[in-house]
Amino acid sequence: MRKEASSNALNEKKINASCGMGYALSLIGGRWKSNILWRLLIDGKLRYNELRRLIPGISERMLVSQLREMEADKLVLRIVYPEVPPRVEYELTELGQSMRSMLQSISDWGEMHRQVTREN
C-alpha cells in the first residue's frame, strides 16, 4: 500500500485525470484484472470458485483483491444470494461490458505479436 499523499499517488491521479489511455490502463492494469474481465466477458456470470478454477495460478487473496478493486471501479457487480450457505456471483456491469472491443483488440494484438517475439 502507498500513501495517498505520496508523489507517486499524486502523479497517478494527474495522469488519470488528463489521459484517457492512462485511466483505462489503471482500471485493467496488473497481472490478473484482464484475465478476470476476459473470463466474465466470455462466460458471463460466474461464482467465485468457477472464476478461480478458470484462472490457473491466481491465489485466493489476489482474486478477492482484484474483484474488490474492480467492484469499487464499477466494472464488476457482486451479487450475494440470501441462502445458506451463502452464494456469491460476479458479473460485469454495463461499464465492464463496454470494454469488450478494447480487450478484444488488445488480445488480438498480443496473439499476433507474441508469435513474432517467440520466433525472434
What local confidence, expressed as pLDDT, does residue 115 receive? 75
What local confidence, expressed as pLDDT, does residue 59 receive? 95
Of 30, 35, 62, the C-alpha closest to 46 is 35
Cell 478458470 belongs to 54
CA distance 94 to 79: 15
SS3 40: helix
What local confidence, expressed as pLDDT, does residue 39 receive? 95
Cell 456469491 belongs to 88
Question: Structure pTM?
Answer: 0.83
Average pLDDT, 10 consecutive residues per value, the chain (120 residues): 74 82 88 94 95 95 96 96 91 96 92 73
Of 46, 35, 42, the C-alpha closest to 97 is 42
CB 74 within 8 A of CB 59: no
CA distance 34 to 103: 8
Q: CATH class for domain 31-119?
A: mainly alpha
CA distance 77 to 91: 5
What local confidence, expressed as pLDDT, does residue 49 receive? 93
What local confidence, expressed as pLDDT, does residue 80 receive? 94
What local confidence, expressed as pLDDT, does residue 43 receive? 95
Domain spans of the chain, in order of start:
1-29, 31-119
Q: How many CB atoms lie within 10 A of CB 55?
A: 16
CB 35 within 8 A of CB 58: yes
CB 99 within 8 A of CB 83: no
